[in-house]
């Protein structure tokens, strides 16, 4: 039988990785630069929605004029009626992280839109059921938001989960 190797167990606060090295330049937006993040994702079926909202927040903080478009199942990210045991209450820590990140994005000056077709036809949400500040839009605006940003030379991120 081989000898067992023992090493100290990492302790809280120990740094196990090189957190100083950054490979790519820290690019910042130039005046007028835009970013569009299209989110067609099933909320809470994984980390994709929250990670993309964190990425969106970072884009805005780098100076991009940010627009987030929620469509398809992504409109569920913008539900303003979530919570347990009451609306706005976290049934467990982090349960409303997506709602909180959307509020941060809007409070810092970015725009968030949600597709009316997905809200109504797919999920039965009224416009009033969305987080205040999210602007509902016509389903034809899904493509037109992409075209508008493409023509402006914007950075466009499309995220899909099914």
pLDDT digits (tens, 9 = 90+) for 94-113: 999 999 999 999 999 999 99
Predicted local confidence at residue 1, as pLDDT: 79
What's the total number of domains in the chain?
A: 1
| Residue 65 binned pLDDT confidence (cut-offs 50, 70, 90) | very high
* Domain containing residue 45: CATH number: 3.40.1260.10
The overall average pLDDT reported for the chain is 94
Residues 87 and 73: beta-carbon distance below 8 Å: no
Distance CA 72, CA 79 (A): 13
Q: Is 24 a member of any domain?
A: no
Distance CA 104, CA 126 (A): 22
pLDDT digits (tens, 9 = 90+) for 138-157: 999 999 999 999 999 999 99
Helix H or strand E encompassing 117? helix 116-117
What's the whole-model pTM score? Answer: 0.89
Q: Is 10 a member of any domain?
A: no
Greatest Cα pair distance, the chain, in angstroms, is 69
Q: Is 16 a member of any domain?
A: no
φ, ψ (nearest 5 deg) of residue 94: 90, -5
Q: Is 89 a member of any domain?
A: yes
CB-CB neighbours of 132 under 10 Å = 8
């Amino acid at each position: 039988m081989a000898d067992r190797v023992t090493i100290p167990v990492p302790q809280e606060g120990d740094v196990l990785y090189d957190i100083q090295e950054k490979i790519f330049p820290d690019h910042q937006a130039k005046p007028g630069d835009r970013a569009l993040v299209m989110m067609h994702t099933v909320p809470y079926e994984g980390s994709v929605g929250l990670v993309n909202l964190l990425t969106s927040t970072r884009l805005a903080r780098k100076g991009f004029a940010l627009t987030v478009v929620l469509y398809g199942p992504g409109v569920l990210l913008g539900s303003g009626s979530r919570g347990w045991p009451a609306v706005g209450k976290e049934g467990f820590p982090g349960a409303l992280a997506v709602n909180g990140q959307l509020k941060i994005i809007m409070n810092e000056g970015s725009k968030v839109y949600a597709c009316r077709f997905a809200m109504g036809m797919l999920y039965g949400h009224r416009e009033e059921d969305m987080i205040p500040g999210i602007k509902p839009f016509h389903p034809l605006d899904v493509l037109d938001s992409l075209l508008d940003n493409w023509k402006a030379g914007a950075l466009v991120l499309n995220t899909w989960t099914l």
